[in-house]
Amino acid sequence: MTQQAAAETHEFQAEVARLLNMMVRSVYSETEIFLRELISNASDACDRLRYEAQTNPAAMEGDTALRISVTVDKAARTLTIADNGIGMNHDDLIANLGTIARSGTAAFMEKLSGDSKKDVSLIGQFGVGFYSAFMVADQVEVTSRKVGDEQAWKWSSDGEGSYTIAPAEQAERGTSIALHVRPDEDEYLDAHRLRHIITTYSDHIAFPIHLSEVKDGETTEEESVNKGSALWTRPKAEVTDEQYTAFYRHAGHAFDEPALTLHYRAEGTIDYTALLFVPTERPMDLFDPARKPRVKLYVKRVFITDDTDDLIPGWLRFLRGVVDSEDLPLNVSREMLQNNPVVARMRKAVTGRVVSALEAKAKDDPEGFVKIWENFGAVIKEGLYEDGERRAALLKIARFRSTHGDSWTSLEDYLGRVKEGQEAIYYVTAADIEAARRSPHLEGFAARGVEVLLLTDPVDDFWLSMVHEHEGKPFRSVTRGGADLSKLGEAQGEDKPDDSRFTTLVVALKEALGEAVKDVRTTDRLTGSAVCLVADDGDMDLNLQRLLKMHNQLGTESPRILEINPDHPLVAAMAARADQPGALDALKDPALLLLDQARILEGELPSDPAAFARRMADLMAKGLN
């Protein structure tokens, strides 16, 4: 390839063009974050090269001191951020700087509201990576030579829809990004100001950042501006909250504040340092089926991988930060991490520390903990299902909604409120909190002042299939046949109904409904509603059936039991009609309507909506005549 080769012009991907348009025209006031983004990328590039060199020592040959340099030239109005990291080739430049790469920028695009004021303020939270350079520069030139390649390439753009790529000369390995600073952004040509920005946002970076100035053709090299040591290796007492936050954002590609910071060094049978964070906001990929953890694994300060399935359990996938092992060999390959006993021991230890930290948070800062639980409880509860060893500890920190007010409750508090004769922890599972509160099954419990947990996460049905009791009390669904209310005493102000009055009606309903129900019976669990559906004791819980059906995982649906409320005027009227001649014919339509009503209360559709509408219309017409 020769220098004469013509530059190729490429259009930016549509999303990038939109983003750049916003960058260029934004009136965002804290444009300084562009430097944090470019330094963060340079640091990632150094990390990746150092990893490469573990298996391919030639990669670092001749230039082993990884560093980042920031050079300002007032006369030329340029600011250059350079690194001797992994570098990019022709195709990397197109893939990384012409499309939306990953993490940061993609998340930003998802959050865009279309309201330009709101969207601009998002820039500060997200940074939006490389493209933020265009907030302060009207021309950006990226020159890069990838490790192992002879040929360097130059990418340049004014951020207005297209960019060019041409072959270039560059002796040094790595990437150099030259910003032509906009006329109204002179502050970024001032070395003092730059030094201040670097110490504010990038002090935690594990590579030295050198700041220098070009004056009268001479470059004044300065000492490293930052400490250049990995933040997690520093003693806790020497790290400020701001530094933790800056590091969290860099390591986690995150934009919020950490809700919980856990920093410790473990010595003894295994030797490692962990700096872990619980985010304040739910990461975008939290409910991704891949359940990928995002913690980074280092070995003796060398970045190894952020593919850490073996290190962090899926139910802690919201954690961000690093674990740095002293025991693993430096040349550990990503494949070697699978089934590695050292990794397995770290996983156990880290999991234990995180659970203890959550427990401590729940105790010392209950309000802060509830915020964490609201975001991540649904994920942590997967641990109840998967990790038998942590089950007891997780049941301790688990928080639930219940019929006892609007706030969250622990199982400990629930047990403190059980009624005399109450032998179980009662719960109802439903698609959302409104549906749970509406559930007719709650009525009998409410009438007796018995508290019921309202569970609304899909995972609830799964862990409840594994976890059968807590502190000697079984978990019992109120939609099961056996939930025995009579043991819990009489509902206030009501007499025990005389069930014999309903025998004929029950027979008539069974006849009318046939296979559609497993059984029909009177119940004392209802007060306001006429009917409800329940699962038989041995059958699957209703909500679990619904859930499996939604995912096409349910083979055959087991028919449910229709329960009728003897105190309801409609049921009483039907019972009276059942004792008269021609009852079977007369009760057929009301019976089917009753069953559909029970379905609707469960959040389902009538089995045959057209037939339902016809029966309903007939009945209403009769009623109005």
Does position 549 interact with ligand ADP (CB under 6 A)? The reply is no
Which structure tokens are listed for 546?
């619904």
The item of ligand ADP, Mg ion, none sharing an interface with residue 102, based on CB under 5 to 8 Å by kind, is ligand ADP
Burial of residue 530, with CB atoms counted within 10 A of its CB: 0-12 exposed, 13-18 middle, 19 or more buried: buried
* Secondary structure, 3-state, 196-244: HHHHHHHCCCCCCEEEEEEECCEEEEEEECCCCCCHHHCCHHHCCHHHH
The set of residues, in sequence order, having a beta carbon less than 8 Å from that of 204 and lying 6+ positions away, is 226, 230, 231, 243, 246, 247, 250
What is the CA 468 to chain-centroid distance, rounded? 27
CA distance 42 to 135: 19
CA distance 423 to 415: 10
For residue 343, the one-letter residue type is V
Mapped onto helix, strand or coil, the DSSP state of residue 156 is strand
Give residue for tokens 């090269």.
49
- Specify the residue, 42 or 483, whose C-beta has the smaller distance to ligand ADP: 42
- Specify the residue, 33 or 506, whose C-beta has the smaller distance to ligand ADP: 33
Does position 45 interact with ligand ADP (CB under 6 A)? The reply is yes
CA distance 489 to 421: 8
Judged by CB under 5 A, which stretch of 14-22, 35-43, 154-162, 200-208 contacts Mg ion? Answer: 35-43
Does position 129 interact with Mg ion (CB under 5 A)? The reply is yes
C-alpha distances (whole Å) from 471 to each of 192, 319, 337, 415 are 62, 30, 38, 9
Q: Going residue by residue from 230 to 269, which x/- string records binding to ligand ADP, judged by CB under 6 A?
A: -----------------------x----------------
Does position 80 interact with Mg ion (CB under 5 A)? The reply is no
CA angle in degrees (0–180, nearest 5) for 158-160-166 = 50
SS3 of the chain: helix, strand, coil, percent, to 5:
45, 20, 35
Mapped onto helix, strand or coil, the DSSP state of residue 480 is strand
Q: How far is the CB of 39 from ligand ADP (least distance, A)?
A: 9
Among residues 18, 102, 363, 614, the one that binds ligand ADP under rule CB under 6 A = 102
Q: How far is the CB of 306 from ligand ADP (least distance, A)?
A: 12
CA distance 350 to 360: 15
Residue 610 parent element (H or E) = helix 609-624
Q: How far is the CB of 180 from ligand ADP (least distance, A)?
A: 18
Does position 272 interact with ligand ADP (CB under 6 A)? The reply is no
- Specify the residue, 41 or 529, whose C-beta has the smaller distance to Mg ion: 41
Judged by CB under 6 A, which stretch of 80-88, 447-455, 529-537, 587-595 contacts ligand ADP? Answer: 80-88
Q: How far is the CB of 245 from Mg ion (least distance, A)?
A: 17
Q: How far is the CB of 305 from ligand ADP (least distance, A)?
A: 15
Does position 104 interact with ligand ADP (CB under 6 A)? The reply is yes
Which structure tokens are listed for 158?
């004014």
Among residues 31, 41, 375, 477, the one that binds ligand ADP under rule CB under 6 A = 41
DSSP line for 51-81: HHHHH-GGGGTT-----EEEEEETTTTEEEE
The item of Mg ion, ligand ADP, none sharing an interface with residue 86, based on CB under 5 to 8 Å by kind, is ligand ADP
Does position 132 interact with Mg ion (CB under 5 A)? The reply is no
- Residue 273's DSSP bridge partners are 265, 324
Q: How far is the CB of 284 from ligand ADP (least distance, A)?
A: 12
The item of Mg ion, ligand ADP, none sharing an interface with residue 422, based on CB under 5 to 8 Å by kind, is none
Judged by CB under 6 A, which stretch of 10-18, 94-102, 239-247, 615-623 contacts ligand ADP? Answer: 94-102
- With CB atoms as reference, the residue minimizing the distance to ligand ADP is 129
Q: Going residue by residue from 474 to 503, which x/- string records binding to ligand ADP, judged by CB under 6 A?
A: ------------------------------
DSSP line for 6-28: PPEEEEPPHHHHHHHHHHHH---
Does position 41 interact with Mg ion (CB under 5 A)? The reply is yes
Does position 154 interact with ligand ADP (CB under 6 A)? The reply is no
Q: Contacts with Mg ion: how many residues (CB under 5 A)? A: 2
CA distance 60 to 41: 19
CA neighbor of 124 nearest in space, from 34, 192, 205: 34
Judged by CB under 5 A, which stretch of 16-24, 28-36, 124-132, 203-211 contacts Mg ion? Answer: 124-132
Judged by CB under 6 A, which stretch of 98-106, 366-374, 384-392, 449-457 contacts ligand ADP? Answer: 98-106
CA distance 190 to 584: 92
Q: How far is the CB of 102 from ligand ADP (least distance, A)?
A: 5
Does position 88 interact with ligand ADP (CB under 6 A)? The reply is yes
Does position 539 interact with ligand ADP (CB under 6 A)? The reply is no
Q: Going residue by residue from 324 to 363, which x/- string records binding to ligand ADP, judged by CB under 6 A?
A: ----------------------------------------
Q: Are the CB atoms for 34 and 135 separated by under 8 Å?
A: yes
Site for ligand ADP in 167-206 (CB under 6 A): 175
- Specify the residue, 88 or 346, whose C-beta has the smaller distance to ligand ADP: 88
The set of residues, in sequence order, having a beta carbon less than 8 Å from that of 311 and lying 6+ positions away, is 293, 295, 297, 323, 337, 343, 346, 347, 350
- Specify the residue, 80 or 529, whose C-beta has the smaller distance to Mg ion: 80
Q: Are the CB atoms for 146 and 84 separated by under 8 Å?
A: no
The item of Mg ion, ligand ADP, none sharing an interface with residue 383, based on CB under 5 to 8 Å by kind, is none
CA neighbor of 565 nearest in space, from 493, 506, 612, 513: 506
Q: How far is the CB of 271 from ligand ADP (least distance, A)?
A: 31
- Specify the residue, 194 or 601, whose C-beta has the smaller distance to ligand ADP: 194
CA distance 374 to 408: 9
Site for ligand ADP in 21-40 (CB under 6 A): 37
Among residues 53, 60, 79, 86, the one that binds ligand ADP under rule CB under 6 A = 86
Q: How far is the CB of 335 from ligand ADP (least distance, A)?
A: 22
If you count them, how many residues does the chain have? 625
CA distance 132 to 197: 15
Applying CB under 5 A, the residues found at the interface with Mg ion are: 41, 129
Applying CB under 6 A, the residues found at the interface with ligand ADP are: 37, 41-42, 45, 83, 85-86, 88, 96-97, 101-105, 129-130, 175, 253
